[in-house]
Structure 1
Amino acid sequence: MTAVVLDYTALLAIRGNQSVSRAIATAPQTDGRFVVPALSLLGAAADDPPIADHVGSLHRVDIVDLGLAAVGFTARLIADGVDWRFAHAIEVARVGPLRPQGLLVMTSDPGVYGPFGIETFTI
């Protein structure tokens, strides 16, 4: 199964970009799924509150909590100047013991992920 991280910018694009909407809508018929970092969803919902309910209603979308294990790394990113709306997506997508190849991030701002060696799909 393939997982794709939807970052803050991808979430905002759901309602305005037909290709993003189509990809998410067809996910239940494919082998893919989407993961949404909680801080990315919070950032998108702060800009467009109905996004939270919309994302919550989608099939094959898993919201990733900012658990204790992720707080330290995410906090360091924010302290180092990474925008909080992207920091949790970086933590979720990065290479780690549970994700030896990392995850692909759907974004409209791929430059955020380059310094961390994270692959992106630009929308």
Structure 2
Amino acid sequence: MIPALLDHSALLALGAGNRAMSAFVVDAAAGRAVVHVPVLCLTAAEAERRGVAAHIGSLPGIEVEPLELSASIPVGALIAGGTDWRIAHAVHAARPSVVHLSGRVVLSVRPELYDGTGISPIDPGQTG
């Protein structure tokens, strides 16, 4: 199972009833997928649509990933370097790490936001 990250656009799509995102969350609740939500992505989704964070937080199988000090430094550097703050936490979390040696997949309905970041997100509505 490849661990996945949901960015703010995926969370907003889920909150709007996107079928592909809903199916993915059902898989996570059933233990067929590993899903994490970077807290800055959750914050961005909440800023755009109030109530989305509470909805996401109530879903089984989805883990909200905090922004710890060890992540805040590189995430801050990404933002300072021009990366959109709404995706900076997802970009950092998607990169290979000690815990996730191969990195993690980002699910986004706005993959163009990641141009130039080195991350190639998957649009769940465009998968085959």
TM-score, reference length from structure 2:
0.87
- TM-superposed deviation, 1:27: 2.0
Q: Which residue of 2 aligns with 1:13?
A: 13
- TM-superposed deviation, 1:114: 4.8
Instruction: Report 1:71-110 matches (<5 A).
Output: 71-110=72-111
Q: Which consecutive residues of structure 2, in runs of 5 or more, have no partner in the other structure?
A: none
Q: Which consecutive residues of structure 1, in runs of 5 or more, have no partner in the other structure?
A: none
- TM-superposed deviation, 1:32: 1.2
What is the RMSD computed on CA atoms of the aligned residues?
1.5
Q: Which moved more, 1:29-38 or 1:43-52?
A: 29-38
Q: Is the 8 A contact 1:102 1:118 kept in 2?
A: no
Q: Which amino acid aligns with 2:102?
A: Q
Count of matched residue pairs: 123
Pick the structure with more strand per residue.
1
Runs of 4+ in 1 over 6 A off after TM superposition: none
Q: Which residue of 2 aligns with 1:2?
A: 2
Q: String of CA shifts for 1:87-111, please: whole Å, max 9, x gaps.
A: 0011111112221111000002223
Q: Which residue of 1 aligns with 2:39?
A: 38
Q: Which amino acid aligns with 1:41?
A: L
